[in-house]
Amino acid sequence: MRTLQQTAALVLFFAACQMPPPASHAPHASPFGVTADGHAVQVVELSVGRGGRARLSEYGASLTELWMPDRDGNLADVVLGFDDLAGYESADNPYFGCTTGRVCNRVREARFLLNGRQYRVTQNHGRHHLHGGDHGLTRVVWSLSQWGRNDDGSAYAEFRYLSADGDEGYPGNLELSVTYTLTTDHVLRIDYRAQTDQPTPVNLTHHSYFNLGGGGTVLDHSLQIEADRYTPTDAELIPTGELSAVEGTALDFRTATRIDARLEEMNQTAALGYDHNFVIRRGGGLARMATLQHAPSGRRLDLWSTDLGLQVYSGNYLDDLPGKRGAIYPRNGGLCLEDQHFPDSVNQPAFPSVILQSGVTYAKTTEYRFSTE
């Protein structure tokens, strides 16, 4: 027979199994600073135990930290960024961890034709338009509308923003929400939603620079991409409209290949490394796009998305950039995996459309699934 003490202990044990995680794991928001034009900015921390932890900023609805364990349980921050708001506001910020749009990537000559009318958007990349313009969705303050914990133990934070009619030259009032969810099995999910009151291009992505080693370069990482084709570009990295086979090129990542295996060849191109859009082989719905692995730590990242293309950027213009906790980010210090529709789709009739109609909801899901080997 159980003693009274044993019975009490069992009652406490089963009660604990029904209790929420300790308060220390509860999502919480705190001040991150004040922008140069006087807007207060918050960060929210999501923690689910077992090592997974993320910090998110209202400035650009950005991921500023993402801590994941290696095969031995040691934690490292696997995304590049800055310690403070001033870093994200600075001209040196290469889109660290932000939500990018209204139209990510490039728009030829910063213009497009829609319903018989030509629209001119901000020229911020030579004569072209890049990642939404001077401010876009990146250099603005979103609203942290809600955060908390789901019944399954995952933690979430939702950000909202209204991009007004005429913002960076785009038509229509665009209402956006971006929800980050961190799960107990080390998945960071991003759910995008947008609605407009008149037709407008929308092509959103996430722009973290990943380094699964937590430092150094990504040259010792291996990458596999579910793509047989890519979109060739001209000397200014604008798509030509063609779809070409990756076979026989330095863009063939159909099997896992180290980043540095053919990088020297890519360094001689106009991109000065990898900065290319891949046409994902898919059957519809949420599908795996790519796998990034770091053998020394055992960390693995599988990217799943409902989108059609993947821009891979090898941090070609990182040049000893001061980052978090005294780190200096070298060239190739991080790898961007930007799920998206194809670049310059607004000017390429053969590419899938990025035009969002009024009365229709733009919806997209991205999952960064972390594991160890």
SS3 217: coil
Task: State the catalytic residue, choosing from 207, 276, 294, 341.
Answer: 207
> What is the CB neighbour count within 10 angstroms for residue 323?
21
Phi-psi region of 255 (alpha: psi -120 to 50; beta: other; left: phi over 0): beta
Alpha-carbon dihedral sign for residues 116, 117, 122, 124: positive
Burial 119-136 (b: 16+ CB within 10 A, else e): bebbbbbeebbbbbbeeb
The distance between the two most distant Cα atoms of the chain, rounded to a whole number of Å, is 84
d(C-alpha 193, C-alpha 242), whole Å: 30
338 assigned to active site: yes
Pairing of strands 75-77, 62-69: antiparallel
Apex CA 104: angle with CA 101 and CA 110, to 5°?
95
d(C-alpha 213, C-alpha 73), whole Å: 13
d(C-alpha 231, C-alpha 311), whole Å: 10
Task: State the catalytic residue, choosing from 158, 168, 226, 338.
Answer: 338
- Cβ neighbours of residue 369 closer than 8 Å, sequence gap 6 or more: 186, 187, 301, 302, 303, 304
89 assigned to active site: no
SS3 24: helix
Active-site residue list: 207, 338
